[in-house]
């Protein structure tokens, strides 16, 4: 329960500090054990390296006939006597005498310990008991090879044989029983003290690094938390500035992108409501003025005036229907009734319905559509797209112009192109044609220019089918609308 109540900062500090303490403690323990055993083994190896005379004596006494030393292993006394007679301490005194020698070290120079004269036959009794003789396979022949907890060996070779030849036996030396020498204790104690200091320094350093690391993690997290609170309250204006290039920096970048996206969505929502209100206000104002004039008797209710009122109502109904279509598309509620249809028949129906209007405007329609194109789509919605595009071309193409419709297929898609003759919208306005309520000429009458939602509806329907629609300048001098639809809509 306490762990759950801790802050993230404290959790990081505790985790890293405990991990560092455990690792340092384990390393210190292993180093201490290794140091103690290694130092003891070092002293043993130093001692056995002084047994040159004993090795030479054993190699000269070796009996090849019996593969051993029968005269030494017959009794324990003969082995001990042989060791005493052939022992030469050479340079460094044995472990048992190091303590006494260290007491006189202040009166003797250090180099005196390496120039002591040989004293054959003066081996200390305790050292004699720690020396043993082993055969080639490590079997005990004489002496006690494992008196202490540790043991080292030295190979015995025949006289004149190189050191890389097969040994004829081994000299063993065991660690002394009982307490270690004072010099050894002093060395181990000094090493433990140094190890403790290094361990404490490592713990302090790890704790400091944990604090720095926690701040490195928590500062951006705190900024992201505060930013999320601002987003939740509807404030989409504050971005997080940083210079990070790690995962937290990527998260901050994503936060900034989200903030900008939400701000753009809010602005688009506000503009959508404003534009919709403005578009509805104009026909409503016209209707209100006409009806009030009829009520006040300013105008008489003739058939022509009533027909104009009905036209305004129909335009208003059409505008409301277009707004409803776009709203459902935006909310993901535009449902499609998919079926396999012949694309040529859908285009022919739309052209046939619009032909009289084109003929009255003096505009020629040319078709170049493959007759066997099969498309999985919503027939009603696709017809709505062609009706809007043809109406757009009829409205903005000059008299005696032409409209060209082409459709062809690739392996997985069907490409449709509808392009007309002059005039062409300005190049800088083409990229804005699919925006809601956008008009190339803002001064154009709404009665002639439509609601400004036709191309937006086309884009929504094509996107719902998984396709793409683009506007470009036409080679005939007008506007080119290119559609790409997958043969199998998803």
Supply the Cα-derived Rg of the chain in whole angstroms: 51
Mean per-residue pLDDT of the chain: 77
Phi-psi region of 166 (alpha: psi -120 to 50; beta: other; left: phi over 0): beta
DSSP-assigned letters across all residues of 433-468: TTSTT--SSTTS-HHHH--S-HHHHHHHHHHHTT-E
Packing angle, helices 76-86 and 52-61, rounded to 10 = 130
Q: Are 482 and 399 in contact (CB under 8 A)?
A: no
Question: Is the predicted pLDDT of residue 404 greater than 90, yes or no?
Answer: yes
The answer to whether domain 247-329 has CATH 1.10.287 is: yes
DSSP-assigned letters across all residues of 393-443: HHHHSPTT-EEEEEEEE-SSEEEEEEEEES----GGGGGGTTSTT--SSTT
Average pLDDT of the segment spanning 126-150: 76
Q: Are 185 and 214 in contact (CB under 8 A)?
A: no
CB atoms near residue 379 (< 10 Å): 18
Least confident of 24-28, 53-57, 167-171, 437-441: 437-441
pLDDT computed for residue 195 by the predictor: 77
Average pLDDT of the segment spanning 250-271: 84
- Residue 132, token pair as written in the block: 């043993």
User: Pick from 458, 430, 431, 437: which is nearest to 329 by CA?
Assistant: 458
- Residue 314, token pair as written in the block: 């129909």
- The pLDDT-based confidence of 444 (bands split at 50, 70, 90) is very low
Task: Tell me how far apart the alpha carbons of residues 265 and 108 are, in angstroms, rounded to a whole number.
Answer: 93
pLDDT computed for residue 445 by the predictor: 37
Tell me, rounded to whole angstroms, the distance of Cα 56 from its chain centroid.
69
Bridge partners (DSSP) of residue 484 are 415, 468
- The pLDDT-based confidence of 484 (bands split at 50, 70, 90) is very high
Task: Tell me how far apart the alpha carbons of residues 99 and 207 are, in angstroms, rounded to a whole number.
Answer: 43
Average pLDDT of the segment spanning 411-427: 88
Q: Are 35 and 142 in contact (CB under 8 A)?
A: no
pLDDT computed for residue 161 by the predictor: 80
Q: Are 434 and 412 in contact (CB under 8 A)?
A: no
For residue 114, the 8-state DSSP code is: G
Does 48 sit behind a cis peptide bond, omega within 30 degrees of 0 on the bond before it?
A: no
Least confident of 143-152, 257-266, 363-372: 143-152
How confident is the model over 85-109, as pLDDT tens digits? 887 655 444 444 444 433 433 343 3
pLDDT computed for residue 105 by the predictor: 35
Q: Are 9 and 218 in contact (CB under 8 A)?
A: yes
pLDDT computed for residue 238 by the predictor: 83
Average pLDDT of the segment spanning 256-284: 77
**Helix (H, G, I), strand (E, B), or coil: what is residue 292?**
helix
pTM greater than the 0.85 cutoff: no
pLDDT computed for residue 114 by the predictor: 35
β pairing state of 151-156 and 169-174: antiparallel
Average pLDDT of the segment spanning 246-269: 84
pLDDT computed for residue 19 by the predictor: 82
Question: Is the predicted pLDDT of residue 250 greater than 70, yes or no?
Answer: yes
Least confident of 76-80, 218-222, 438-442: 438-442
Task: Tell me how far apart the alpha carbons of residues 227 and 85 are, in angstroms, rounded to a whole number.
Answer: 90
- Residue 194, token pair as written in the block: 């140094």
β pairing state of 338-342 and 140-143: unpaired
- Residue 62, token pair as written in the block: 């070796």
Question: Is the predicted pLDDT of residue 211 greater than 60, yes or no?
Answer: yes
Q: Are 148 and 174 in contact (CB under 8 A)?
A: yes
- The pLDDT-based confidence of 177 (bands split at 50, 70, 90) is low
Least confident of 78-82, 176-180, 225-229, 461-465: 176-180
Residues listed for the chain: 490
Q: Are 275 and 436 in contact (CB under 8 A)?
A: yes
Bridge partners (DSSP) of residue 418 are 405, 481
**336-486 — its CATH code?**
3.30.565.10
pLDDT computed for residue 415 by the predictor: 92
How confident is the model over 292-347, as pLDDT tens digits? 888 888 778 888 778 878 877 876 776 777 777 767 666 555 677 888 999 999 99
pLDDT computed for residue 452 by the predictor: 67
β pairing state of 413-421 and 477-486: antiparallel
Strand blocks (E) in 60-168: 131-134, 140-143, 151-156
For the chain, give the percent of residues with pLDDT over 90. 5
What are the residue ranges spanned by the domains of the chain? 49-178, 247-329, 336-486
Average pLDDT of the segment spanning 163-183: 75
- Residue 165, token pair as written in the block: 């030849």
Greater confidence (231 vs 437) lies with 231
Least confident of 19-23, 49-53, 107-111, 421-425: 107-111
pLDDT computed for residue 97 by the predictor: 46
- The pLDDT-based confidence of 36 (bands split at 50, 70, 90) is low
Q: What are phi and psi of 192, to 5 degrees?
A: -60, -40
Packing angle, helices 182-232 and 247-295, rounded to 10 = 10
pLDDT computed for residue 8 by the predictor: 67
């Amino acid at each position: 329960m306490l762990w759950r109540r801790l802050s993230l900062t404290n959790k990081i500090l505790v985790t890293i500090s405990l991990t560092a303490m455990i690792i340092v403690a384990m390393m210190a323990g292993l180093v201490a054990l290794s140091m103690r055993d290694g130092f003891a083994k070092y002293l043993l190896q130093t001692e056995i390296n002084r047994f040159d005379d004993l090795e030479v004596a054993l190699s000269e006494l070796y009996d090849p006939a019996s593969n051993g030393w029968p005269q030494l292993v017959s009794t324990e006394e003969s082995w001990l006597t042989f060791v005493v007679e052939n022992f030469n301490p050479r340079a460094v005194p044995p472990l048992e005498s190091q303590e006494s020698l260290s007491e006189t070290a202040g009166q003797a120079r250090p180099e005196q310990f390496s120039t002591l004269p040989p004293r054959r036959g003066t081996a200390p009794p305790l050292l004699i008991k720690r020396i043993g003789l082993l055969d080639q396979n490590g079997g005990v022949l004489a002496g006690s090879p494992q008196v202490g907890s540790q043991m080292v060996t030295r190979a015995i070779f025949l006289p004149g044989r190189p050191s890389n030849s097969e040994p004829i036996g081994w000299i063993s030396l065991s660690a002394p029983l009982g307490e270690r020498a004072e010099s050894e204790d002093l060395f181990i104690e000094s090493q433990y003290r140094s190890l403790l200091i290094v361990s404490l320094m490592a713990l302090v350093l790890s704790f400091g690094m944990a604090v720095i690391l926690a701040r490195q993690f928590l500062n951006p997290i705190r900024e992201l938390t505060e930013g999320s609170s601002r987003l939740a309250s509807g404030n989409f204006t504050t971005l997080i500035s940083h210079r990070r290039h790690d995962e937290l920096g990527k998260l901050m970048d994503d936060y900034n992108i989200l903030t900008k996206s939400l701000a753009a969505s809010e602005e688009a929502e506000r503009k959508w409501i404003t534009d919709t209100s403005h578009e509805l206000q104009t026909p409503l104002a016209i209707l209100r003025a006409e009806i009030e004039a009829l009520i006040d008797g300013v105008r008489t209710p003739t058939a022509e005036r009533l027909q104009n009122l009905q036209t305004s109502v129909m335009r208003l109904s059409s505008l409301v229907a277009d707004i409803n279509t776009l709203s459902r598309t935006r909310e993901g509620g535009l449902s499609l009734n998919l079926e396999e249809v012949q694309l040529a028949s859908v285009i022919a129906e739309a052209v046939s319905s619009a032909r009289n209007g084109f003929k009255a405007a003096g505009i020629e329609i040319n078709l170049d559509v493959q007759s066997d194109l099969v498309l999985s789509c919503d027939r009603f919605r696709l017809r709505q797209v062609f009706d809007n595009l043809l109406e757009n071309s009829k409205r903005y193409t000059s008299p005696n112009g032409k409209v060209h419709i082409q459709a062809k297929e690739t392996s997985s898609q069907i490409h449709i192109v509808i392009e007309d003759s002059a005039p062409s919208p300005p190049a800088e306005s083409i990229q804005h044609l699919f925006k809601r309520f956008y008009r190339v000429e803002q001064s154009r009458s709404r009665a002639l220019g439509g609601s400004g939602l036709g191309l937006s509806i086309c884009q929504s329907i094509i996107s719902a089918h998984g396709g793409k629609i683009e506007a470009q300048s036409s080679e005939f001098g007008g506007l080119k609308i290119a559609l790409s639809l997958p043969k199998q809509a998803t």
